[in-house]
């Protein structure tokens, strides 16, 4: 089975980029021989059939759906695809004026306000670039089509980042604090592990072990000290323990006050145990 999985990954790395290239050529008006198109489509169909077969074998072997998918697709690829899908889904939530992961008894704290001007400014620049490139390369259909797809997706990506920040606020529930940032950070901290909370406005952040800085517009405003570490998972799946978390909220003082009330007031962190 391991040989089959390695073979499938090798074929996927070759076939899928080739299929993407053919798709861009077709969009750009480049004529592709019928034989080449037929071979490409057959290769994709066979690859998908093999992936389905391997997936079913893994499921019969006792793996869950997520575990089987992780065996077939590298974790970084899965996480990147998931991130892109969350951004696009956030656009839908933004239009519908809904929020993700906020229950009826939860308290939500926004954190997107201070970056809005910057994000929309970048989006405007990308939109202007899209128009300029469309005019400059109007006589090169293939280049024009490729750049148009890339530029339009870039605009959607920027809007998605801001939409994710708006629709995915920090969430304080009865026993858990859920800290989020756009579509790539979702850290859950049990309230029992929060040793202290303080309002602390910082604009410079030195990289330190076991410290996580969730900056918005280059700043953090609330610092959490934990009695026990929690595991933070990065965009590509890398995990590391954190004991100090610095975050930002639109109303940072109210956020810090709500946290202190939820954990029963600030408590001293547990002293390290030293051998006798």
Instruction: Give the per-residue pLDDT at 249.
Output: 96
The phi-psi region of residue 186 (left if phi > 0; otherwise alpha if psi is between -120 and 50; otherwise beta) is: beta
Instruction: Please give the share of the chain, as a percent, with pLDDT higher than 90.
Output: 47
Question: Global pTM?
Answer: 0.76
Widest Cα–Cα separation across the chain: 79
Strands 220-233 and 194-202: what pairing?
Answer: antiparallel
Phi, psi (5° rounding) for residue 97? 55, 45
Edge-to-edge order in the sheet of strand 220-233: 194-202, 220-233, 239-247, 211-213
Mean per-residue pLDDT for 134-158? 83
> CA torsion, points 115, 160, 185, 211, in degrees to nearest 10?
-30
Instruction: Give the per-residue pLDDT at 79.
Output: 81
Q: Looking at the DSSP assignment, which residues form a beta bridge with residue 109? A: 170
Instruction: Give the per-residue pLDDT at 90.
Output: 96
Q: What is the mean pLDDT of the chain?
A: 83
- Find tokens 């300029």 and name the residue: 132
Q: How far is CA 30 from CA 27, 44, 141, in A?
A: 8, 20, 8
Write out pLDDT tens, residues 253-270: 999 999 999 988 444 444
d(CA 214, CA 196): 17
Please, where are the H alpha helices in 61-198?
A: 65-72, 75-96, 116-136, 141-167
Q: How confident is the model at residue 15 (pLDDT cuts 50, 70, 90)?
A: low
Q: Which one has a higher pLDDT value, 81 or 189?
A: 189
Instruction: Give the per-residue pLDDT at 11.
Output: 65
Q: Looking at the DSSP assignment, which residues form a beta bridge with residue 185? A: 181
Edge-to-edge order in the sheet of strand 176-181: 107-109, 170-172, 176-181, 185-190
Write out pLDDT tens, residues 222-246: 999 999 999 999 988 889 999 999 9
3-class DSSP assignment, residue 14: helix
d(CA 19, CA 142): 16
Q: How far is CA 188 from CA 68, 134, 176, 178, 272, in A?
A: 25, 44, 7, 4, 24
* Beta-carbon-side half-sphere exposure of residue 164 (alpha carbons within 13 Å): 23
Instruction: Give the per-residue pLDDT at 134.
Output: 84
């Amino acid at each position: 089975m391991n040989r089959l999985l390695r073979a499938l990954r090798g074929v996927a790395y070759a076939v899928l980029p080739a299929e993407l290239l053919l798709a861009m050529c077709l969009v750009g008006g480049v004529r592709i021989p019928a034989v080449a198109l037929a071979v490409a489509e057959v290769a994709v169909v066979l690859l998908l059939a093999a992936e389905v077969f391997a997936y079913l074998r893994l499921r019969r072997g006792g793996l869950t759906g997520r575990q089987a998918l992780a065996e077939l697709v590298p974790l970084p690829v899965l996480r990147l695809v998931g991130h892109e899908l969350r951004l696009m889904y956030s656009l839908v939530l933004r239009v519908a004026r809904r929020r993700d992961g906020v229950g009826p008894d939860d308290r939500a704290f926004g954190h997107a306000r201070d970056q809005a001007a910057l994000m929309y400014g970048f989006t405007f620049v990308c939109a202007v670039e899209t128009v300029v490139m469309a005019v400059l390369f109007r006589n090169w259909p293939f280049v024009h089509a490729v750049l148009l797809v890339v530029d339009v997706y870039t605009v959607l990506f920027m809007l998605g980042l801001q939409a994710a920040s708006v629709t995915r606020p920090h969430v304080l529930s009865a026993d858990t604090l859920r800290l989020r940032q756009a579509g790539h950070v979702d850290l859950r901290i049990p309230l029992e592990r929060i040793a202290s909370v303080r309002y602390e406005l910082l604009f410079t952040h030195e990289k330190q072990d076991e410290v996580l800085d969730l900056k918005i517009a280059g700043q953090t405003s609330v610092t959490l000290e934990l009695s026990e570490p929690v595991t933070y998972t990065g965009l590509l799946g890398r995990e590391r323990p954190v004991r100090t978390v610095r975050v930002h909220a639109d109303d940072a003082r109210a956020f810090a006050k709500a946290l202190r009330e939820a954990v029963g007031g600030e408590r001293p962190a547990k002293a390290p145990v030293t051998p006798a």
